[in-house]
């Protein structure tokens, strides 16, 4: 198959970083409880910082179907992700990249 034939937008399958949806979900809960800017830019900056500290974990899924979550949500992983996101949120809170 020629790589030019496969389009992320038009194809049957989607390529996703497994961590992305998990980090975004957890970040919503953590950031909403913090005394920090709640704008979309700060939220996404926290997510980007956290994702850049994790090893990539790409999966493919059928377009239109839910991505199957790989069972990584054990107590240790949950705690590690919470600590990571909290640290990233603190950094963004201290130095937001926009006018306050």
Alpha carbons 98 and 54: distance in angstroms, whole number: 25
In a domain, 3, yes or no: no
Q: Residue 1: what pLDDT?
A: 40
Give every residue of the chain whose pLDDT is below 50, as ranges: 1-7
In a domain, 73, yes or no: yes
Closest to 23 (Cα-Cα) out of 93, 63, 73: 73
**Adjacent-strand bridge partners of 13:** 62
Q: Residue 100: what pLDDT?
A: 58
On whether the CB atoms of residues 59 and 20 are closer than 8 A, the answer is no
Closest to 28 (Cα-Cα) out of 18, 65, 36: 36
Q: Report the domain count for the chain.
A: 1
In a domain, 25, yes or no: yes
In a domain, 100, yes or no: no
Give me the domain span that covers residue 43. Answer: 10-94
With a pLDDT cut of 90, the percent of the chain lying above it is 55
Give the chain's mean pLDDT. Answer: 83
For the whole model, what pTM was predicted? 0.78
Q: Residue 80: what pLDDT?
A: 94
Q: Residue 14: what pLDDT?
A: 84
Alpha carbons 13 and 2: distance in angstroms, whole number: 16
């Amino acid at each position: 198959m020629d790589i030019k034939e496969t389009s992320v937008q038009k194809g049957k399958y989607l390529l996703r970083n497994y961590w992305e949806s998990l980090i975004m979900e957890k970040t919503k809960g953590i950031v909403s409880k913090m005394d920090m800017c709640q704008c979309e830019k700060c939220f996404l900056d926290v997510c980007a910082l956290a994702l850049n500290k994790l090893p990539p974990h790409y999966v493919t899924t059928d377009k239109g179907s839910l991505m199957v979550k790989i069972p990584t949500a054990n107590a240790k992983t949950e705690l590690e992700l919470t600590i990571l996101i909290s640290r990233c949120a603190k950094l963004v809170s201290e130095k937001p990249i926009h006018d306050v």
